[in-house]
Amino acid sequence: MSSTVSAQRVSPIATHLTRLLQTRTCPKTLCPSEVARSLSSSELQSLGMNEWREVMPSVRELVWEMRARGEVEVLQKGEVLGNDVTLQDVKGPIRVRRAREDGEGDDQG
């Protein structure tokens, strides 16, 4: 799949990613596979895919687009990845959370 994801492919993915992010208060995170697993069979079919694992590259691409807009932070091994880290640089599991707003999540302990 190309790095430019068509609107048709992103729509159900974006819907589920946004919904899941809204259910988590900062600093709570989610795994991108939660987004892929939340897609129904009909949504997978509309994307031309058969199983959730096939959607993972599209989910990660969308996460990186959202990160570039300042909407989310991407973490690996508990550390926020810097803006210099590209999607192609990342190997292994990542976590995603809403970007911090002023004062949000300051009570971590």
Its pTM surpasses 0.85: no
The helix (run of H) or strand (run of E) holding residue 73 is strand 72-76
The full set of domain ranges for the chain reads 7-98
Domain 7-98 part of CATH 1.10.10.10: yes
Q: Tell me how far apart the alpha carbons of residues 16 and 97 are, in angstroms, rounded to a whole number.
A: 14
Other Cβ atoms within 10 Å of 106 Cβ, number: 9
The tens digit of pLDDT for each residue in 29-82 reads: 999 999 999 999 999 999 999 999 999 999 999 999 999 999 999 999 999 999
